[in-house]
Amino acid sequence: MRPLTYLFIIFIIFTVGAIWVLSFGNLTECNLSFFKLNKKILSTFFKYASLWAEWPIILTSLLLSFYKWGKYAWMWVLSFAIEGLVIQTIKRFYNAPRPIESFPTYAKQVDGILLAHFGSFPSGHTAAVVFGTGLLLWSLYSTHSKSRVFLLIVLFLGVISAALSRVYLCQHHLQDIFAGGLIGATIFYLFSRINTKLFPILSK
């Protein structure tokens, strides 16, 4: 899968999801349908899916980029840092209440998950996993083995699982993950263009 094809699919999924919820569904009811779910198997799955969107995806994607491009990978480190800065700036500007503040009756507690109270919009985990997976795909693009194709499919499903985990775990609302996904994809696209312009080796 070409990295830009991945971005296109991500844009479609998150945009269509946002349009459907905002235009045809009741946003509050859609959020509550996730918050009310409380199955042990789902809690375990989404707990680790959410964890993947933290340091694992960041470290894996950056280490792989250093393995492939050496010193030039510092451009991706800078890009990832800027992505995080943009997300945190927006969070602090809006300082939106998290589900435990908006829907305290339905905010469940999953073992090992500390519920945050503010800084809900947008989802930093979703932005990070979208950006990090884009970088992984960029690094793996030149490899065509079947095992790699399988890995790319798993990574793509990991993006969706990580995003939905933030809603299931009552850390974010649906609108937060839609915004986080679109911001992460947009920033990755912009830096993929900038980085390859500055250092053509990063496009190989």
Give the pLDDT confidence of 113-167 residue by residue, as tens digits: 899 999 999 999 999 999 999 998 888 776 655 666 777 788 888 999 999 999 9
Short-list 183, 181, 164, CA closest to 173: 164
With b for 16 or more beta-carbon neighbours within 10 A and e for fewer, the 160-184 pattern comes to bbbbbbbbbbbbbbbbbbbbbbbbb
- pTM of the predicted protein model: 0.92
The class that CATH gives domain 3-203 is mainly alpha
Torsion sign over Cα 111, 113, 115, 121: negative
Give the pLDDT confidence of 46-61 residue by residue, as tens digits: 999 999 999 999 999 9
- Do the beta carbons of residue 132 and residue 58 sit within 8 Å? yes
